[in-house]
Amino acid sequence: YLCAQATGQAAKSARTVVITGIPDGLLHNDVMTDILMIHFQMSKNNGGDVEEVTYPTVRKGVAYVTFEDQEVVERVLKKDEHRLEDKRLSRYYPLNVTRYCENVFSSVTSVLNMSIFKDQFVLEDLIEEFKKKSTALSFGPLQSNGHISVQGSFPAIELLRDFLLLKAKCLSEKDKREESRSHQRPKRRQQQHSLTTGTSNFIRDAGGEKQVVVLDTDIYHYMKYFFPRTFLVNDDVVISDITDGDITMVYIENAGSRSDAGQVLRVKEKIENQSMKLHNALRKERIYFKEHVRDEKRRYKWVCESLKPHYPSVLVIPYDTHIDVIGNSSETLEFTKDV
C-alpha cells in the first residue's frame, strides 16, 4: 500500500511544475490561486487542464501547479517567457517555471547589499540592469540602506552573484589604478575602495589564496553528513562557512607557510563538482507538526529515528515547526509517507 502511494505521488510529481516570482501579498491567496489557474489553462501559455494549484507554500512567491496530463508540463516548460497578467494586477509579472522532479531546491531567497556600488552607480539603474539580465529572478523593493531581496532558482542566483562580484572587482581594479596616480584621495573614495576590495578579495583568480563557494544550505548539510571527505583538507588549507538562511558561503583559504593557490582551487573545484551532482539528484520534503507541543515533536523524532536505518541515504533535519527530509526522489517520498 505504501509502495503504491509513493508510486502515485511520484507520478503526480512528474505532472507538477514549480512557479517562482509570484507577487506576494498583493492579492488574497484565493484570488492569486485563481489567476494562476487561469494562466496555466490558457492555450497561449502552452497550458492545459490543471488538476491542482498549491498556493501559498512555505516559500513566499512560490506555487506548485499540477496538470492532469504530463504532456502539458513539457509544453509549459518550452514557452520562452511566462507573464502573469490579469486585470486584478497593476502590471505583469515574469514567472519562472521549472520541473518539480528535476530541481527540488527550486527557490531560494537572498539579500543583496548594493550599498558598495552607490558611489559609482545609480542603484535603481543598476537593479534594472540586473532584472534584464536575470529574468528568472524576482526582486523586492530597494531599501534605504541599499539592501534588496532577490528570489529564484539557486543557479540563477549564483549567476547574479558572479555578475555582482565581477562589478565589484572592476571597481576595485579601477580604484587601484587611480590610487597609483595620486596618493591624496578623498576620504569617501578611500572608504569605497576598502569595501570593494573586501568584496572581491575572497574571489581572487588563479593567483589568489582565498576562494568562496556559494551553496544551497540544504545541500551543504547533506554534503557535510554524507560526504565529509569533500571538506577534508590538510593543514595548509582552512575551510570556514557562514550560513544565511537558504545560502551557505564556504570559504577556502591557504594557511600554510608556502603559498599554493592551486591547492585552494582544487579544493574549491571538488566542492563545486560534488554540490552540482547533488543539486541534480536530491529532493526535499517537509513534514509539518500538526501541533507545536513537546510530546508531538518527541513522537515525530522517535518515528524518524526508528525509520532512519531503512533509509540510509536520507538526511533528517528537525526544526521547531517542521522536519526537513532530504535525499533522492524515491527514498524521500517513501520515508515521508512512512512517517
pLDDT given for residue 183 in this prediction: 47
- What percentage of residues in the chain have a pLDDT greater than 70? 77
Lowest mean pLDDT across 44-58, 162-176, 191-205, 233-247: 191-205
pLDDT given for residue 322 in this prediction: 86
The owner of cell 576598502 is 194
CA–CA dist 3, 330 (Å, integer) = 10
CA–CA dist 96, 78 (Å, integer) = 12
Question: Which whole number is the average pLDDT over 172-193?
Answer: 45
CA distances 117 to 59, 122, 124, 162, 310, Å, are 29, 8, 11, 15, 52
pLDDT given for residue 201 in this prediction: 33
pLDDT given for residue 139 in this prediction: 83
More confidently predicted of 175 and 311: 311
Burial of 273 (0-12, 13-18, 19+ CB in 10 A): exposed
- What percentage of residues in the chain have a pLDDT greater than 90? 22
Helix 154-181 to helix 187-201 angle (10° resolution) is: 140
Q: Does the pLDDT value for residue 203 go beyond 60?
A: no
Q: Does the pLDDT value for residue 192 go beyond 50?
A: no
Grouping H, G, I as helix, E, B as strand and the rest as coil, residue 110 is strand
More confidently predicted of 112 and 81: 81
Q: Does the pLDDT value for residue 87 go beyond 70?
A: yes
More confidently predicted of 163 and 33: 33
Q: What is the mean pLDDT of the chain?
A: 78
Segment holding 171, helix H or strand E = helix 154-181
Q: Does the pLDDT value for residue 237 go beyond 90?
A: no
pLDDT given for residue 188 in this prediction: 33
Task: Using alpha carbons, select from 331, 249, 227, 245 the residue that is nearest to residue 284.
Answer: 331
Grouping H, G, I as helix, E, B as strand and the rest as coil, residue 42 is coil
Phi, psi (5° rounding) for residue 225?
A: -80, -50
Its pTM stands at 0.47
9 — pLDDT class (breaks 50, 70, 90): low
277 — pLDDT class (breaks 50, 70, 90): confident
The owner of cell 504532456 is 71
Task: Go through the chain and tell me how many residues it has.
Answer: 339
**Pair 156, 105: CB distance under 8 Å:** no
Angle at 13 between CA 11 and CA 19, to 5 degrees: 150
Edge-to-edge strands, sheet with 322-328 = 282-288, 322-328, 315-318
Question: Which whole number is the average pLDDT over 160-184?
Answer: 61
CA distances 285 to 96, 227, 308, 317, Å, are 21, 21, 15, 11
**HSE of 165 in the Cβ direction (CA atoms, 13 Å)?**
18
Lowest mean pLDDT across 113-127, 188-202, 280-294: 188-202
Tell me the pLDDT tens digit for each residue of 107-144. 677 788 888 777 777 888 888 877 777 776 788 888 88
pLDDT given for residue 73 in this prediction: 92
Lowest mean pLDDT across 146-160, 188-202, 244-258: 188-202
What are the grid coordinates assigned to 50, written together? 490543471
Lowest mean pLDDT across 86-90, 186-190, 294-298: 186-190
Tell me the pLDDT tens digit for each residue of 26-73. 899 999 999 999 999 999 999 999 999 999 886 778 889 999 998 999
Q: Does the pLDDT value for residue 76 go beyond 50?
A: yes
pLDDT given for residue 169 in this prediction: 61
292 — pLDDT class (breaks 50, 70, 90): low
Q: Does the pLDDT value for residue 6 go beyond 60?
A: no
